[in-house]
Structure 1
Amino acid sequence: MTPARTLRIDRIACTGQGLCAELLPELIDLDEWGYPVIKDRAVPDHLRTHTRRAVLACPRLALHADDGPA
């Protein structure tokens, strides 16, 4: 069994470019100022690859996917 993966955003590093929401709309919305809002911190298995891609694409390295409890 693979460990649960959780999604988090470093709000200090994030500049609200919105790329994460474009790459992972299933889990991330944008607020009225363009900053990400996580819909569900737990990453389902079928979205692990998309989540990894969104984390790697973040220009400010503000999106993180951690192994651990959901």
Structure 2
Amino acid sequence: MRIVLDRARCTGIGICEALAPTVFEVDDNGELVVLSADVPEDAQNEVTEAVEGCPTMALGLRL
């Protein structure tokens, strides 16, 4: 799986970072940083929750 980020929609709330901190990080400027575009096998559940929990629908997954 690969993470797809729509930067125009992302507001940097940080829900994704809270759910999957090894994959997402909101930097000091409030910008989302995807630490690993390819979802690590051991983080698939957390990343899926983060994608589904994004209130702005800025995140997606591509197989």
Superposed pair shares fold, TM > 0.5: yes
User: Identity over aligned residues, as a percent?
Assistant: 32
Gap runs ≥5 in structure 1: none
Equivalent residue pairs, number: 63
Aligned to 2:29: 33
RMSD: 1.0
TM-score by length of 1: 0.81
After TM superposition, where is structure 1 displaced by more than 2 Å over at least 4 residues in a row?
none
Gap runs ≥5 in structure 2: none
Aligned to 1:52: 48
Aligned to 2:58: 62
TM-score by length of 2: 0.89
Please state whether the residue corresponding to 2:57 is helix, strand or coil. Answer: coil
- Please tell me whether Structure 1 or Structure 2 has the larger radius of gyration of its CA atoms: 1
